[in-house]
Structure 1
């Protein structure tokens, strides 16, 4: 399958590398390929400069968001939450009818709020939207002809593409969306990653709970000091 991964951060790199290993034709999308390839310093999360990473993955192509999406059968959105709707809307014509997996969290960094939560990497971002809306729903409203599925948002992406790395893979992945066929496509992809327990939460409105879980995920991760999984016990 031809798959576009939009975003060059650690999450996008994890998906692109794994998908390439699985034999898919992978193109990573970025706002400005020339600028991306000119980077010489690590990003804010400490990931090496993108050209260094790409040199170790010669089977993966780099293109603009538009060109990557245009040639893809399926698109994975790893654009940061604050810019996702704008960037995806700009390439909407290339997303018509396609399945879009959205794992972005709607973080607002350096929020001006009275009760800040300090973490090892700075103040914890604020979620916006929250409670009565979600980024997944906003993307779907902006792109009514795209089949949006919220998934992979409740795990670090390194765990998403390698579930066996935590508890031998005995934990749960969640999906939500308004198109049953699109969710089936995403579930099949997740199973190829190694997920055995994929729970369909229902409509895309369930993105709200999935995105709001981000703060709990951070708290657990800080308490444990490493990667972990969440399992729904029936």
Structure 2
């Protein structure tokens, strides 16, 4: 299958590497391919320059967001940071029309001012916007009415999403939500190929609100486990 990953951060790299390992034809989208390849310093999360990383994956194609989305058969994964996702995806709405978009972005706002900050080992915890009465996934769906948006992957680090058996031999739960049954099935099929055996369909896309708000709990658990820079653990729904 020819799939597109939009984004070049650590999570997108984990998705890209796994999909290539599984034999998919992977196209990566970035805002400016030349600028992305020209960067010589690690990104803000400490990931090595993308060109350096890409050298180990000669079969991966790097294109603009629009060209990558257009090249995908029918499945695209959104790894664009939450603050910029709606604008970036709206700009390529035509290329995404008729396709499934799996969104794992968290709508974080960094460096915000608050009377009651949550200090963390890496600075003040970002706030979620939107929250409670809307979600990033719903905003994306409204901006892209001809695209089938599925929220998933967002309750784990992407390194865990693509390798669930690294935690508890895979005995933990992944979630999906969306308004299109066929699109959710595509996400479920992909997760199954990653090794997930416990996948819980939460229902319509409005349930993305719960998944996105879980990001703070994910961080809190990581702090409790002494894993402040990306918690590698699983959560299990026992029923």
Under a length normalisation based on structure 2, what TM-score does the superposition of the two structures give? 0.97
Q: Post-superposition, which runs of at least 4 consecutive aligned residues in structure 1 deviate over 4 A?
A: none
Task: Give the structure 2 partner of residue 90 of structure 1.
Answer: 91
Q: Distance in 2 between matches of 1:114 and 1:28?
A: 40
1:228 corresponds to: 233
> What is the alpha-carbon distance in structure 2 between the residues aligned to residue 121 and residue 8 of structure 1?
21
Deviation at 1:225, TM superposition (A): 2.4
1:65 corresponds to 2:65: yes
Q: Which consecutive residues of structure 1, in runs of 5 or more, have no partner in the other structure? A: none
Q: Distance in 2 between matches of 1:59 and 1:117?
A: 42
Alpha-carbon deviations, 1:52-96, whole Å to 9, x = none? 100011111100000000010210000000100000000000000
2:59 equivalent to 1:54 = no
Cα distance in 2 between the residues matched to 1:119 and 1:62: 34
Cα RMSD of the aligned pairs, angstroms, is 0.6
Shift of 1:122: 1.3
Aligned to 1:43: 43
Equivalent position SS for 1:148: strand
Q: For the residues of structure 2 that align with 1:126 and 1:215, how far apart are their CA atoms?
A: 9
Residue 13 of structure 2 is aligned to residue 8 of structure 1: no
In structure 2, list runs of 5 or more residues that go unmatched.
Answer: none
Query: What's the TM-score once normalised by structure 1's chain length?
Result: 0.99
Aligned-partner Cα distance in 2 for 1:211–1:31: 24
Q: CA deviation at 1:180?
A: 0.4
Distance 2:63 2:171 in 1: 36
How many pairs align?
234
